[in-house]
Chains A and B, each alone.
Chain A
Amino acid sequence: MKELIEEIKVQIINALNLEEMTPADIDDNAPLFGDEGLGLDSIDVLELIVLMEKNYGIKLTNPAEGKAVFQSVAVMADYVSKNRKK
């Protein structure tokens, strides 16, 4: 799980062009959206949706499920480990 968390952090940094950040700067359990944590917004959600589809074959079409998945990197990694198709 630790490796998957690191892998997702690298993908988020690349997808969102967060050049000034390293995986160590992202707290596993910090919220991805809102003022705390990474402070991502709706444009970034689009990036994460595509990231999940392209890298893990996971299509997030249910809004409620999608919002829950993007709570934090740790939650994303847990979801990916249980639902990945790639």
Chain B
Amino acid sequence: MAQYEHNEWHGSTGGTSWMQRAMLKLFRFLPIPLAYACMAPVIPFYMLFDRRGYRASYNFFRHRIGRGQLHSFFSVYANEFRMGQVVVDRFALYAGRSFELENDELPVFMRLAEAEPGFVQLGSHAGNFELAGYMLRSIKRMGTLVFSGETETVMQQRAAMFARMNVEMVPVSDDMSHLFTLNAILSEGGIVSMPGDRLFGSSKSFSCPFFGDPAPFPAGPFMLAAQRSVAMVAVFVMKESVHRYRLFVKRIGEKLDQALPSRVRAEAMANEFAANLENVVRMYPTQWFNFYDFWK
């Protein structure tokens, strides 16, 4: 069966715009666990009808995590359910609800945020990275790269949340104008936030060891940091319980020799990011939300 590949997978939020607006209204008063409970019976339909997503998830648990057939089947359910929870939480946040954040590693972020130079913050499609944008406050200007495939409702809510926090959305565009904006933010000492596990704008990638096999990671984010010689952090926001998330902040490329060519440093940073991502995903395997064959 054909699988989604990196450049085909857009990973936008499910549901039509009016459904999402209805969710926003509901989440102003609906208890979050009740929303999760409503979602539970719908998951098997997703498993049944989204065969490509099911296959990718099943293969991930079966061959990458090494679970048995039955365990992998139930893990797909848990994976889809977790994905639903993360989407629900995002809408709950848009509707004004809040979550606890275990943030032992916050000082790693704050040290960079309080220093003068700009830096690159990398996210991933594991856990709930979008929450980092709403919860990591900084006086620095931040530009976050967003994909244009989301509905108007999601984009409006994001814009409203970000406007309160000195965060600017930078849409990926075919004419590459986002690169000039990101570069300008970095050169002015700001923060650039982007996913480190998704190819966008360019098909250039670094092949990095990931769960036992080489997988393509986008060259862009790592080249941007290496060329400008700015710091890089990987940020993971993982769901722990109904109302609680845990923040992981890892410095990437901190010990690299800056005299090395930028492409060499960029590749080393990509490898380091992949290793950190694997560590976190091994801790929270049901929060791996790349529903396509990531290794193709």
Contact = CB atoms under 8 A, between A and B. Distances in A.
Interface string A31-63: 001000000011101110110010000011111
B227 A47 contact: yes
B180 A63 contact: yes
Contacts of B203: 41
B181 A43 contact: no
Given A43-B202, A43-B219, A43-B223, A61 B175 contact: no
A46 B177 contact: no
A23 interface: no
Contacts of A18: none
Interface in B197-245: 201-204, 219-220, 223-224, 227-228
A61 B227 contact: no
A59 B186 CA distance: 12
Do most interface residues of chain B lie in helix, strand or loop, or is the interface mixed?
helix
B176 interface: yes
A45 B179 contact: yes
Contacts of B202: 41-43
A84 interface: no
Nearest to A41: B202
A17 interface: yes
A41 B204 contact: yes
A11 to B, nearest CB: 14
Contact of A42 (B176, B184, B187, B228): B176
B183 A49 contact: yes
Nearest to A17: B263
A42 B220 CA distance: 8
27 contacts: A33-B176, A41-B203, A41-B204, A42-B176, A42-B179, A42-B201, A42-B220, A43-B201, A43-B223, A45-B176, A45-B179, A46-B179, A46-B183, A46-B223, A46-B227, A50-B227, A59-B187, A60-B183, A61-B180, A61-B183, A63-B175, A63-B178, A63-B179, A63-B180, A66-B177, A67-B177, A67-B180
